Structure 1
Amino acid sequence: WKWEKITMNFITKLPKTTNGYDTIGVIVDRLTKSMHFLPMRENDPMEKLIKLYMKEVVTRHGVPVSIISDREGRFTSLFWQALHKALGTRLDMSTAYHLETDSQSERTIQTLDDMLRACVIDFEKS
């Protein structure tokens, strides 16, 4: 079913927006390839990520069965793991040697990164 299996990742080190955002959380449904982009600050606390995740994913689509992510600190935190254990969501971490386990979000991130860079270049020219 839709939104049962998702991937999560972050685009970091972006130029800051007027609201101070410099990170985008990328969440992709593995079945439909639909996605959510969550504006964040790189130093936002874990609680901010969880509030955004609950608002944008869980309330709209339900609790996923599994989440694939990289081993970024937010995804390996005890708080994140305890939350998903309580929700019944399996957390699968990709490894440095098997990045294909998270290839969907990696492709999405690359496409979004390319589009953002093109917009910045166009904006700077005008």
Structure 2
Amino acid sequence: MVDNVAEYFKACDRCKKANKSTGKRLENMLKIQEPSKPWEIVHIDWVTGLPPGGDRSYNACLVISDISSKNPIFLPCHKDDTAMDTALLIWNRVISWTGILTNIISDRDQKFRSALWTSLHQLFGTKLSFSTA
């Protein structure tokens, strides 16, 4: 019975017009490729607006999440860290532990669009993907 009702509503022209979707169509979005091993593809983002803490008064956190295992790495940092500061933080605290990352997905932050990051990605053969807002 449920199947019959569902089929009726799918075929009903009046129902289709009344229930028109107003949001973006999801089938047009690109899918993230499935990683073949952990720490191959990661998502990176900042959490800012935190109260100062620690001996260096950190006020932000850089979060790096593995797409495969969903394991995060939380790195205390400062909101005004430069692209170089962020690159060194990732090099010293992440790549030394996980190895070279294949793909980094991030928002369109200026730090990741800088000439420094472009050069680093070319040097290591890493792909930098930008997520949509």
TM-score (norm 1): 0.72
On the 8 A contact 2:84/2:116 being kept in 1, the answer is: no
Aligned residue identity for 1:16: P
Q: Deviation string for 1:23-80 (max 9, x for gaps)?
A: 1000001001111111111112222211110112211111111010000111111111
Q: Which residue of 2 aligns with 1:6?
A: 42
Rg larger for: 2
- Aligned residues: CA RMSD: 1.1
What residue ranges of structure 1 are gaps of 5+ in the alignment? 97-126
Q: Does 1:47 align with 2:84?
A: yes
Separation of aligned partners in 1, 2:79 and 2:115: 19
Separation of aligned partners in 2, 1:20 and 1:80: 26
What residue ranges of structure 2 are gaps of 5+ in the alignment? 1-36
Superposed structure 1 runs of 4+ greater than 3 Å apart: none
Alignment of 1:34-73 (within 5 A): 34-73=71-110
TM-score (norm 2): 0.68
Residues paired across the two proteins, number: 96
Aligned residue identity for 2:69: T
Q: Does 1:88 align with 2:125?
A: yes
Of Structure 1 and Structure 2, which has the larger fraction of its residues in helix? 1
| Identity between Structure 1 and Structure 2 (%) | 34
Q: Which residue of 2 aligns with 1:106?
A: none
Separation of aligned partners in 1, 2:42 and 2:105: 6
Q: Does 1:17 align with 2:53?
A: yes
